[in-house]
Structure 1
């Protein structure tokens, strides 16, 4: 075997397959002491002197197999160990520098064509940032820079001056597209996170629940991650495009999209009030028009069927309690035994925003609830608990799953706890209860919300038409 004379390489990778052609491969043990020692010896002047005297060939110089086998390696294990203690750090440094050199050569080869044809120019300190010309497909920062400058000058210039400033910036940067440094991207992400945390803290002070705060955070974080730009650079067009893409990708309803719009509006309005941005980009995004659909309610017959299908006293008490009080399922699972006043047939619940109100239940609910509580053997203070030990407090999902199963057994579509609330509101209005009292009963801050829940019976509309217009 003949080895061509060349450079020496210290190979540390595992599972590397070498084609033994025009090279000599010296295998050593796994001991780093031996590898470092041999590698440095092959780079020493002693070896080069031996190599010079052992070279053969007139045109292509080479080392014969015998010459390589007879390389005089002055190896001693104890010497190698002592030697390694002195130079191991240097060897590792040399290895790392060689690897970095390979990466730099690769980057040079990628950048060289751009430099040769004028598509790229390095700045003076060879930093990571570049100024890119023409149509190179790299992330563009020009519009963001113009937007940031205009936003910061908005309070100091009038409309004419602002327009002139933007025109000058656009003209001067016409043929220039800028890429920000990687550390700027990290700094931008950190600033966005700080703004979001400050906003969430402000909402927490205002009294928003933990569930609402989590919803706010998740919704805004998705926007910031998707857009991947500084908050001051986000435009109305960016948010419109995001909402449109989100609706198409997730097949979201108009109600969901409008909820997201309201959250964005609250966030950017807060940033504007705190002087972090000059103007909220959500101002020009109007309320999403939602479809006005007539939602179904439970009939008297369906309510009786649900009661008859209950196989235990707890489920029967839940059905009666929801249908007679109209409380939210989240309010139901928070109730304790001591909250119930059987004498007055009422209880105090804590609604959204920890608002306290009194709700009332009928005589049938009282009897079924007492039967359920009298039959319990646990000491859990919760009003409704699981049927089996350890009898923990029911959760929202637990109530929803149980009622959905009851509806599925009876082949009733879309039976859920909130349907009882809507049914109560509709029945109350049909029987002549003033809308203000229904609002109070349901715990709504705005009467518009109550009107969304309550569905006026069409037969009553027909009778009223005959009575007053007829």
Structure 2
């Protein structure tokens, strides 16, 4: 079993590693995603390996010195993630009385340029869909599911056959924090999924998507499929699974779907996360502007 919430980093003292693992376990008990805990563990392992000052002697100045060294040639979002990780860990230490004072400051947060989600425009979408027709039946089902459901890559990877209803074209997925929701997918996707499952022995508890070794297709495998497809379609940028998720949202919005419905389909806990898509100019909006303004 992959115990991603346990650090075995031998460059960290036993006492610190015990505290780190206590913190990581608290994240797991809060149902934080495996990817989140793994990232936090990696960041904290680096911090503890490079900043060896005892915890009860650690000051804000010590943390800032390390952060400044770490931040060289790093992007603002990376720095912000590291600072969020440190703040979360030290807040845990305060709550558990391992520390007496807060050693991170809100004012250290870098200014992050606001960016819109990366999605495929209509021409790129058409090229990718056309290129996907040349894929294997499994990979075509994978692409169509991401495009028409808006699922995260981890949600698709974790699906089992019994989680999918081909007649109703719905799937029960486990999202962030272990939250269960039902998503929908297209009729075309249902047909291709049916064809794919027809090539396998059907065990309801088996993974929906499997690799060539008969094991669950993991996130890395799904990303390989989308990356290669982007190259085949002649895209200038890499095609990541999240691009398909963003394309799903913008397509839904352009076709008049309610923002609340889109939010529920995508598993957003905060409606404001979904509202960012409303700021993306759709093809119709661009055409209307050109007709009016020239």
State the TM bucket, normalised to the shorter chain: 0.7 to 0.9
> In structure 2, what is the Cα distance between the partners aligned to 1:307 and 1:460?
20
In the alignment, structure 2 segments of 5+ residues that lack a partner are: 1-11
TM-score (structure 2 length as normaliser) = 0.83
3-state SS of 2:71 partner:
helix
For the structure 1 residues 202 and 316, does the alpha-carbon distance in structure 2 shift closer, same or farther, using more than 3 Å as the test?
closer
Residue 31 (structure 2) pairs with residue 215 (structure 1): no
Aligned to 1:353: 177
Q: How does 1:431-442 map to 2 (within 5 A)?
A: 431-442=255-266
Identify which of 400, 403, 406 aligns with 2:226.
Answer: 403
C-alpha displacement at 1:453, in angstroms? 5.7
Aligned to 2:215: 392
> In structure 1, what is the Cα distance between the partners aligned to 2:117 and 2:34?
29
For the structure 1 residues 326 and 236, does the alpha-carbon distance in structure 2 shift closer, same or farther, using more than 3 Å as the test?
same
Conserved in 2, the CA contact under 8 Å of 1:336 and 1:381? yes
Aligned to 1:383: 208
Identify which of 41, 51, 54 aligns with 1:227.
Answer: 51
C-alpha displacement at 1:377, in angstroms? 5.2
> In structure 2, what is the Cα distance between the partners aligned to 1:296 and 1:274?
40
For the structure 1 residues 214 and 291, does the alpha-carbon distance in structure 2 shift closer, same or farther, using more than 3 Å as the test?
same
Aligned to 1:100: none
> In structure 2, what is the Cα distance between the partners aligned to 1:287 and 1:313?
46
For the structure 1 residues 459 and 366, does the alpha-carbon distance in structure 2 shift closer, same or farther, using more than 3 Å as the test?
closer
> In structure 2, what is the Cα distance between the partners aligned to 1:456 and 1:353?
28
Residue 194 (structure 2) pairs with residue 370 (structure 1): yes
Residue 242 (structure 2) pairs with residue 418 (structure 1): yes
Aligned to 1:69: none
For the structure 1 residues 401 and 370, does the alpha-carbon distance in structure 2 shift closer, same or farther, using more than 3 Å as the test?
same
> In structure 2, what is the Cα distance between the partners aligned to 1:197 and 1:373?
41
**Root mean square deviation, CA, Å:** 2.6
Conserved in 1, the CA contact under 8 Å of 2:149 and 2:185? yes
Identify which of 267, 273, 279 aligns with 2:101.
Answer: 279
For the structure 1 residues 314 and 282, does the alpha-carbon distance in structure 2 shift closer, same or farther, using more than 3 Å as the test?
same
Conserved in 1, the CA contact under 8 Å of 2:116 and 2:280? no
Instruction: List structure 1 runs of 4+ shifted beyond 4 angstroms.
Output: 377-380, 452-455, 458-466
Q: How does 1:77-116 map to 2 (within 5 A)?
A: none
3-state SS of 1:359 partner:
strand
> In structure 1, what is the Cα distance between the partners aligned to 2:18 and 2:197?
49
3-state SS of 2:83 partner:
helix
TM-score (structure 1 length as normaliser) = 0.54
In the alignment, structure 1 segments of 5+ residues that lack a partner are: 1-187
3-state SS of 1:279 partner:
coil
Highest CA radius of gyration, 1 or 2?
1
> In structure 2, what is the Cα distance between the partners aligned to 1:313 and 1:459?
31
Conserved in 1, the CA contact under 8 Å of 2:30 and 2:177? no
Conserved in 2, the CA contact under 8 Å of 1:240 and 1:285? no
C-alpha displacement at 1:191, in angstroms? 3.5
C-alpha displacement at 1:322, in angstroms? 0.6
> In structure 1, what is the Cα distance between the partners aligned to 2:215 and 2:27?
32
Conserved in 1, the CA contact under 8 Å of 2:250 and 2:282? no
For the structure 1 residues 255 and 454, does the alpha-carbon distance in structure 2 shift closer, same or farther, using more than 3 Å as the test?
farther
C-alpha displacement at 1:393, in angstroms? 2.0
> In structure 1, what is the Cα distance between the partners aligned to 2:54 and 2:17?
10
C-alpha displacement at 1:463, in angstroms? 8.4
Conserved in 1, the CA contact under 8 Å of 2:122 and 2:283? no
Larger RCO (CA under 8 A, 6+ residues apart): 2
> In structure 2, what is the Cα distance between the partners aligned to 1:312 and 1:461?
36
> In structure 1, what is the Cα distance between the partners aligned to 2:254 and 2:100?
50
